[in-house]
Homo-oligomer: A and B are copies of this chain.
Amino acid sequence: MSTKIPVAVLAATGSVGQRFVQLLDRHPLFEVVALTASDRTTGQKYGQACHWILPGDMPGWAAEMTLLPTEAASAATPLAFSALPAEAALEIEPEFARAGTLVCSNASAYRNEPDVPILLPEVNPDQAAILEAQRRRRGWTGGIVTNSNCTSTGMTVALKALQDAFGLRRVFAVSMQALSGAGYPGVSALDIVDNVIPWIRGEEEKVEWEPRKMLGSLRGEEIVPADFRISAHTNRVAVVDGHMVCLSIELANPATPEEAARVLAEYQAPEAARDLPSAPRPVIVVRREPDRPQPRLDRMTGNGMATVVGRVRPDPLFDIKMVVFSHNTIRGAAGGSIYNAELLARLKVIGR
């Protein structure tokens, strides 16, 4: 008999939903028992309803599962991974949380709430403790834990290492983001072949704020954002997977590029997050070639869970320039949520 934790994937047919199904195949801790979808396809087999867009075949067990409606009544597992769009998440995720499900969510709907953590196990596992206050306040027996916007993820991991060592003052961030970040069908091919789109709706606001919350601190029953500022430009480019971010960073205590590179390369996740199945080892891979990271070559570093940093060099205005890269649908979405759930399982806060 399986002792794995039974989980549901909410909105399993979309591009992030598919990544969940792929990454949960043969997962050591979790067993998918429910796949949900929008009304249009419930009742169909996942194999029929889902236009699978990932390399490799859909796992056989998933193909055979019957899609359920996205309702707490039908899919009340102790743990659920949510790939719901923000609007739907706003209503549906609390329903699950109330019914006792701990929801690990990719949606932005609740990221702004001071009692909902944006969790990044390598960075802020301590913020998981806010769950207790969340449950008490809201009368939930489950809860909502989010992961950050896919662009914020990699840069926050890198900023954490620098924050610990030197402190942060100001950060310029310019992203070149992959197509899969916009879902499927997402971006029209006519908009991106031989082109760049210098705008992604709502993205700059998220990138300017989410890292500050993740790098903030728990004070009483609230998470207080860290005291530094970010300016972001976000762009879409013709890349399938993997977000690249150019960073210029002003530190509180100046450091040389060599010192910064060393601190990045040696960064260790906090104890609680270290030996989990999805934990990348090392957390940050620092590349020394002049022209790396590159999406096509570096996206699967650490099974797509590592943060890759390159081109650490002096900045004529601030202190350090560098390029940060991470896989947007693995580290920045489905893989990140699963890593969060692994942390929460270890902390024994699932399924009370």
Contact = CB atoms under 8 A, between A and B. Distances in A.
A297 B53 CA distance: 7
B179 A189 contact: yes
Interface in A319-350: 321, 323
A231 B317 contact: yes
Contacts of A90: none
B294 A198 contact: yes
Interface in A185-204: 185-199
Nearest to A230: B316
A293 B233 contact: no
A244 B198 contact: yes
A318 B231 CA distance: 8
A176 to B, nearest CB: 5
Q: Which of A189, A192, A244, A291 has the most CB of B within 10 A?
A: A189
Contacts of A231: 172, 248, 315-318, 321
Given A237-B238, A238-B237, A294-B198, A193 B192 contact: yes
Contact of A187 (B188, B292, B298): B188
Contacts of A187: 188-190
Interface in A205-238: 208, 229-231, 233, 235, 237-238
A310 interface: yes
Interface in A31-62: 53-56
A190 B197 contact: no
A63 interface: no
A239 B291 contact: no
A317 B174 contact: no
Contacts of A194: 193-194, 238-240, 295-296
A34 to B, nearest CB: 26
Nearest to A313: B204
30 contacts: A55-B296, A55-B299, A56-B300, A172-B172, A172-B174, A176-B237, A179-B190, A184-B190, A186-B188, A186-B189, A187-B188, A189-B189, A192-B193, A193-B193, A193-B194, A193-B238, A194-B296, A195-B294, A195-B295, A195-B297, A196-B294, A199-B311, A229-B316, A231-B315, A231-B316, A231-B317, A231-B318, A233-B248, A237-B237, A238-B238
